[in-house]
Structure formats: C-alpha cells, structure tokens
C-alpha cells in the first residue's frame, strides 16, 4: 500500500495558530470513503487544523496521511476518532521541527526515516490507546536479531550458514510482473501469509496497486511464481517503500529475496528516489538479514504496528539513502 504523506505546515504544541485556509468551528468531515476491508479514508477540517487519515479496522490503527494547522486540537480530534472506532494505535510521520510537539501531546518516537520527505527526515510517532497495544512480548527475541546483525558477525555468519542452501539466484532470474500475473501473485501471498495488512490475496487489489505505480518483481520456477517483492514509489515525497516480500517455503534461503530487492532498487535508480525504506517483521531473521546485507540502516521499531501472520506484530524500520548516479 502506498502511504503518502504530504508536507505539514509549521505549528507548535502550546499555541494554536490557525492555518489561513482552515475553517473555524466544529470538525467537519469533508470527505469520507471506504475502500473495503474496514479501511476508511477521511478528510476533516475544523478548530484550526485540517487532516487526512486512514482508519484501518483490520490493523486497528489510525494513520494520518497528512495534516496542517495546530497540533493540540488535531491530536485531541484524532484520539476521539480512534477511540470511537475502537482502534488501539494512532500513527503519523512528522518533521524535525514538530516531533517534540507530538511528544508533548503523549506520543512516542518509534523511528526516523532518513530523507523521507524529499530528502528531509520523517519522525515516526505513535500514540497507543491501550497498555496491551503498547507492549510487545517479543522484544527480547527481536533485540537479539538486531544485535546479531549489527554487532555479532560470528553469530550472524553461523545463522546464515544454517539458513542457506547452495543455489544462488542471479539477477537474470528476476522478472518484472505485469497485470497478467496478478492472479498468480495473489495465490503466492495467500499461501505465504495467514493474514496481511493489505488484501494482497485478491488479484484485483494486486492489479490496482500496479495501476497506481507499484512495481512487482518475481522469480519463477518451472513457470510458477515462487518469490516476489514490490516497490511503491511516492512521487510527491521522492521516496519508495520496499514491501510485499514473500518466498514459498521450499524456495527460501536461495537468495531470491536479495536478488528481487536489488533489482527493484535498480529500476528505481532513474526515478530520483531519495529514500528507500521498509517495514520488516521484527521477528523475521531472514527479512532483517536481507535488508542489512543490502546496506539498509536499522532506524527503529514500530510496536504492534499491523496485523500480519494472524497477529499484531512489531515492524523494524530499515532505511537506505541511495547514492545518486551520474
Ligand atoms: C523473509 C523471506 C521473504 C526471505 O526470503 P528468501 O528468498 O528466503 O531470502 P533470501 O534467500 O534472499 O535471503 C537472503 C539471505 O538470508 C538468509 N536467510 C534467509 N532466511 C534465513 C533464516 N531464517 N535464517 C538465517 N538465514 C536466512 C539466506 O540464506 C540468504 O543468505 P545468503 O544470501 O548469504 O545465502 C522469506 O523467509 C519469507 O517469505 N518469509 C515469510 C513471509 C515474511 O515474513 N515476509 C516478510 C514480510 S516483512
């Protein structure tokens, strides 16, 4: 899913400056539409702010897409909106000059996405609405994975050897998927994930994502798609999310995911993308290893961020600022 964040205007936590084009008075939903699966996008204006957010009933999360105006009334409105819908997490990305104002409004800083807003860093802020949602039982295991990757090359190599088969995937084995592959891709995702935050198990959703600009790369064996990943470029902010990574069990450890992500990076090279980022399942050694080995930097962890593999899971933020080609 493309998560597009538009630039936010400056404001502060204590004063409530009113953005010039924002109407005063009670909050008015200007627009509201459902895109299925309990996902509702809303645009709301009033009381000195204007915002666009997604209320996601599946991952029980309210994610702000963009906002402008005063932070305090905005947060107050969003908290009410999240509670009214029974959502446990409020999430947004803000800029350097505003993240502290969100801390003062009860948020925590979960990570930093270098260069997310056309080269400017994004601060990933969360406000949890229940103790249960705030705490993760997996932290020790997840910290060990990061520790092994970043600080223990011996342990890392031993684990890599244990998870590795001897066949290597070459760049030439990777193909660009087309809308005709939507059905096969949906089948792959359906068989790998018990649940997934977006309806990737539906061919029409996969095709619509491609139509919206997502690039899906695949590896086939005997004509069948056995591994896939996608890149979702955000033109407004000049970034791209690397996502939808899946390899069928019997094909894992052959370097398919590494080859897929490498080739996606290559196809983004000529698009002036200043930030590549991904949210990787924090308990997946293989996924975190792949991003680390491709030169992404660990930039934080989003706690109980989405419903995936049948439960809420933490997601590690991995970020790479590509070096411009001449
Ligand atoms: C995570 C996943 C996509 C990795 O796919 P993959 O094709 O097996 O990944 P690769 O083979 O490219 O992995 C790259 C390296 O990591 C190693 N590796 C992969 N899984 C590993 C594991 N569980 N333990 C140790 N090493 C592992 C591979 O051996 C390979 O090392 P090498 O290149 O030095 O030989 C796959 O395990 C998967 O589909 N998991 C379930 C779905 C999922 O969690 N997706 C991630 C969503 S964020």
Evaluate whether residue 97 is within a structural domain.
yes
How many domains is the chain built from? 2
Q: What is the CATH number of the domain that holds 195?
A: 3.40.630.30
Note whether 195 and 114 are same-domain residues.
no
Give the closest residue to 264 by CA, choosing from 305, 296, 298.
296
Q: Which protein residue's CA is at the shortest distance from atom 48 of ligand 1?
A: 280
In angstroms, what is the span from residue 276 Cα to ligand 1's centroid? 19
pLDDT of amino acid 324: 67
Check if 225 has its Cβ closer than 6 Å to any atom of ligand 1: no
Note whether 169 and 110 are same-domain residues.
no
Q: Which of 118, 134, 150 is the last residue of a domain?
A: 134
What whole-number distance in Å separates Cα of residue 234 and Cα of residue 4? Answer: 6
pLDDT of amino acid 152: 86
H or E stretch at 112: strand 108-117
Q: Looking at the CA of residue 260, tell me the nearest atom of ligand 1.
A: 12
pLDDT of amino acid 161: 66
Q: What are the tens digits of pLDDT across the range 221-265?
A: 999 999 999 999 999 999 999 999 999 999 999 999 999 999 999
Sequence-ordered list of residues with C-beta below 8 angstroms from that of 237, at least 6 positions apart, any chain: 4, 5, 6, 116, 117, 118, 275
Domain that holds residue 92: 28-134
Cβ atoms 214, 207 nearer than 8 A: no
pLDDT of amino acid 8: 32
Note whether 306 and 187 are same-domain residues.
yes
Note whether 166 and 231 are same-domain residues.
yes
Question: How much of the chain is helix, strand and coil, in % rounded to 5?
Answer: 30, 35, 35
Note whether 214 and 110 are same-domain residues.
no
Q: Looking at the CA of residue 227, tell me the nearest atom of ligand 1.
A: 7
Q: Which of 134, 155, 176 is the last residue of a domain?
A: 134
pLDDT of amino acid 273: 95
H or E stretch at 188: helix 182-192
pLDDT of amino acid 25: 53
Evaluate whether residue 15 is within a structural domain.
no
pLDDT of amino acid 46: 80
Please list the ranges in the chain whose pLDDT falls under 70.
Answer: 1-29, 32-37, 156, 158-167, 324-326
Evaluate whether residue 18 is within a structural domain.
no
Mutate to test the pocket of ligand 1, among 153, 157, 221, 253 (most ligand atoms within 8 A of CB): 253
Q: Which two tokens stand for residue 251?
A: 């094909």
Check if 239 has its Cβ closer than 6 Å to any atom of ligand 1: no
Note whether 145 and 125 are same-domain residues.
no
Mutate to test the pocket of ligand 1, among 252, 295, 314 (most ligand atoms within 8 A of CB): 252
In angstroms, what is the span from residue 226 Cα to ligand 1's centroid? 13
Note whether 148 and 268 are same-domain residues.
yes
pLDDT of amino acid 4: 28
Evaluate whether residue 7 is within a structural domain.
no
Check if 315 has its Cβ closer than 6 Å to any atom of ligand 1: no
Mutate to test the pocket of ligand 1, among 174, 231, 286, 308 (most ligand atoms within 8 A of CB): 286
**Residue 191: C-alpha distances to residues 70, 174, 221, 228, 242 (Å):** 45, 20, 16, 12, 20
Note whether 130 and 144 are same-domain residues.
no
pLDDT of amino acid 224: 97
Q: Which two tokens stand for residue 96?
A: 């350097």
């Amino acid at each position: 899913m493309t998560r597009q964040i538009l630039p936010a205007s400056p404001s502060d936590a204590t004063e409530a400056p009113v953005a010039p084009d924002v109407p005063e008075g009670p909050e008015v939903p200007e627009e509201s539409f459902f895109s299925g699966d309990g996902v509702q996008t809303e645009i709301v204006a009033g009381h000195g702010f204007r915002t666009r957010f997604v209320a996601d009933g599946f991952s029980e999360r309210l994610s702000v897409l963009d906002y402008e105006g005063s932070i305090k009334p905005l947060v107050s409105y969003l908290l009410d909106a999240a509670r009214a819908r029974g959502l446990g997490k409020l999430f947004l990305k803000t800029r350097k000059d505003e993240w502290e104002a969100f801390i003062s409004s009860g948020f925590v800083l979960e990570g930093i996405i270098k260069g997310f807003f056309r080269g400017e860093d994004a601060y990933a802020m969360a406000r949890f609405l229940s103790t249960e949602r705030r705490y993760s039982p997996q932290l020790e295991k997840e910290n060990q994975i990061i520790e092994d990757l970043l600080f223990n090359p011996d342990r890392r190599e031993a684990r890599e050897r244990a998870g590795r088969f001897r066949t290597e995937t070459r760049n030439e084995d990777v193909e660009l998927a087309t809308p005709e592959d939507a059905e096969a891709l949906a089948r792959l995702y359906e068989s790998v994930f018990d649940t997934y935050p977006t309806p990737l198990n539906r061919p029409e959703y996969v095709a619509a994502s491609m139509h919206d600009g997502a690039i899906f790369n695949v590896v086939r064996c005997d004509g069948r798609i056995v591994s896939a990943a996608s890149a979702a470029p955000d033109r407004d902010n000049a970034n791209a999310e690397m996502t939808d990574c899946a390899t069928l069990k019997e094909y894992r450890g052959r370097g398919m995911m590494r080859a897929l992500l490498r080739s996606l990076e290559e196809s983004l090279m000529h698009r002036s993308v200043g930030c590549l980022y991904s949210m990787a399942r924090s308990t997946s050694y293989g996924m975190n290893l792949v991003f680390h080995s491709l030169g992404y930097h660990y930039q934080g962890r989003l706690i109980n961020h989405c419903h995936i593999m049948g439960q809420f899971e933490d997601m590690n933020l991995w970020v790479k600022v590509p070096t411009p080609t001449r």
